[in-house]
Amino acid sequence: MVYNVLSNDFENFLNDIFIGTQINRLYFDDNNKDNDADVILSKNKIFPIICKKYNILFPHDYNSIDIAEITKFKMG
């Protein structure tokens, strides 16, 4: 996926997106005593976003569905 994005110079990156249903954010906590990574279910709600052209999931970037926020992310 990364190779395709870079080799296409980000052409149409995030132009065609799928916005998923709001979910609780999951993340890995690797700071436990057993040196095992635990999956933590957060109270934070997010909207997973998928770039359809490159099939890339962005589950951590959007706390709300705001086109201005998505556009800001696209611009870097």
pLDDT at position 74, please? 66
Helix count (H) and strand count (E) of the chain?
A: 2, 5
Q: Phi/psi at 72 (nearest 5 deg)?
A: -60, -40
pLDDT tens track for 10-60: 899 888 888 888 888 777 666 666 666 677 777 878 888 889 999 998 766
Give the number of other CB atoms < 10 A from CB of residue 61. Answer: 12
pLDDT for residue 6 is more than 90: yes
Q: At 61, phi and psi to the nearest 5? A: -95, -15
Residue 75 has pLDDT above 70, yes or no: no
pLDDT digits (tens, 9 = 90+) for 40-50: 777 878 888 88
Token reading at 2: 């990364």
Task: Quote the pTM value.
Answer: 0.61
Rounded distance between C-alpha atoms, residue 14 and residue 37, angstroms: 31
